[in-house]
A and B are shown apart, each in its own frame.
Chain A
Amino acid sequence: MLAETSLDIRTVSKTYQVNDQALDVLRNIDFTVEPGEFVSIVGASGCGKSTLLRLIIGLDTEYHGDILLDGRRIDGPGADRSIVFQEHRLFPWLTVEQNVALGLDASDAPVAIRGQSVAEHIDLVRLAGFEKAYPHQLSGGMAQRAAIARALVNRPKILLLDEPLGALDSLTRAYLQDELLRIWRQQSVTVLMVTHDVEEAVYLSDKIVVMEPRPGRIAGIVPIDLDHQRERAAAGFIAHKERVLHLLNH
């Protein structure tokens, strides 16, 4: 099964009013995420990358330009998109199973199918055996995997990741990067990830959108034409990393 949904971001601008002054957060953001692609957005803090994700998920619908999903303008959250935040944001009073099931709350699938779907996705993120655990009983990496299961359980076409590994230690981080790749391939979902880690972006992505701050705009787009068995020490890998870093620091 191949994800068919493309995400078009067309000349999107976003302005906040701060003390009667217009503050440009995003200016003329323009790029496309092809079906099945893994795209990363990198940029310094304040470049509006998280704001852009909020617009795409539909938490904020006031912006100029168009965000199109298969040609339709986004006007709120929908079943076709899902998100993993930097903090896991699992509800502490619900078990892993109940938290993952929240992802199916809006679907009209029958209860039996839901239960099966929840179990499958807990399996997918390798948390089988922890269904009844509460979030405080999980490590940071496990909690984030549960959040990934919650995001995928309704089979969204586009998965948005807002610095999903940003709060984890480097070992867990490296492990979860490989897990993300595995899940992405297994689910053939389109992924748009925000990160500030250039190496992570080069390791995972088909394409990197580099942004610069104040106002948030695109500094350049770097396609990563490496095959998917990537070696961090390989010359090609380092060359791509250099290109992204150059765009970030010019």
Chain B
Amino acid sequence: MSERSLIVPRRRLDRRRLRLGAAPRWISRLPALLWPLALPAIVLLGWQVATTRGWLAPQILPAPAAVVATLIDLARDGDITSNLAISLWRIVSGFAIGAGAGIVFGVALGVSPRLERFLGPSFRAVAQVPSLGWLPFLILIFGIGETLNYVIIAKACFVPVVLNTAGGIRNIPRQYLEVADAFRLTRTTRIFRLILPAALPQVFSGIRLALSHAWIALLVVEMLADTEGVGYMMTWGRTLFQIDVVLAGMVLIGIIGFVMDAGLRRAEKRLRRWVPADG
């Protein structure tokens, strides 16, 4: 909702400017495109000032330029690329398994009142235990190794997708369900032509939540129980007092996470082409 309310005034602004016929489109759009960058610019400036004035020791907060230099160094050595490739593979496979299974189980819970009565409360209770709370137990079961990474990330993705999918299905307007009953829609049609499209917005918020949970799980498990990956690289940087490596890791994660989230938003928009353009 919030992104829509942001977009609409921007479009109106565009049109007004276009009518004046003054500037080409991309120039008239420039302020809108720059606006989201204002806050990062301010933070970056404050960071630079803090380091040049020596408010914080460089061992604690290195200068932005030092972090960029480290990023470039790490990229040149292949340190970052290999660690990143490992982390991304863990995220993507854990996320695919967890979110995929989450949609299936979420649909089942949302569609079948009997299954909901039988499994719903237990699932909600177990879901209260954060993924990290599971870590010691899962280490005992799977040992320290690649399986543990996938299990913990998949589990972190599974829960929000299930809860949101089931919730989205429960919120489908009764009027539509009556149509499905009155026209005796088959089970397949019901799921693919009514339930999934109707629940799609909430399924997607579950999926996007899952992605951020996946990152949390990935970093923690890499920091605690792995010898490769971005999270491990950051812990290693911290123990060697190379805070620039830690910060470089944070910047990378931020950028990649942002790109993935933007990709998911795009995917959702494509899947919801039927939504009227102006809300």
Contact = CB atoms under 8 A, between A and B. Distances in A.
Interface of A: 57-59, 77-79, 82-83, 85, 87, 89, 91-94, 98, 102-103, 105-106, 134, 136-137, 150
6 contacts: A57-B182, A58-B182, A78-B184, A91-B198, A102-B193, A136-B274
B176 A102 contact: no
A225 to B, nearest CB: 33
Interface in B66-87: none
B175 A102 contact: no
The 6 residue pairs across chains A and B that have the minimum distance between CB atoms: A106-B184, A93-B197, A136-B276, A93-B274, A134-B274, A105-B185
Given A59-B178, A59-B181, A136-B276, A91 B186 contact: no
B181 A106 contact: no
A94 B185 CA distance: 15
B15 interface: no
Interface string B254-279: 00000000000000000010111000
B178 A93 contact: no
B175 A105 contact: no
Interface residues of B, number: 20
Nearest to B179: A89
Contacts of A58: 182
Contacts of A94: 193, 197, 274
Interface in B221-279: 272, 274-276
B55 interface: no
A93 B59 CA distance: 56
Interface in B142-184: 175-176, 178-179, 181-184
A77 B183 contact: yes
A105 B276 contact: no
Contacts of A77: 181-184
A91 B182 contact: no
Contacts of B274: 92-94, 134, 136
A91 B197 contact: yes
Given A136-B274, A136-B276, A91 B189 contact: no
B197 A102 contact: no
A94 to B, nearest CB: 6
Nearest to B185: A105
B194 interface: yes
A102 B272 contact: no
A10 B273 CA distance: 48
Contacts of B178: 59, 85, 89
Contacts of B186: 105-106
A107 to B, nearest CB: 9
A44 to B, nearest CB: 23
Contacts of A93: 197-198, 200, 272, 274
A78 to B, nearest CB: 8
Nearest to A92: B274
Most chain B CB inside 10 Å of its own CB: which residue of A78, A91, A106, A137 = A91
A98 B276 CA distance: 18
A105 B185 CA distance: 6
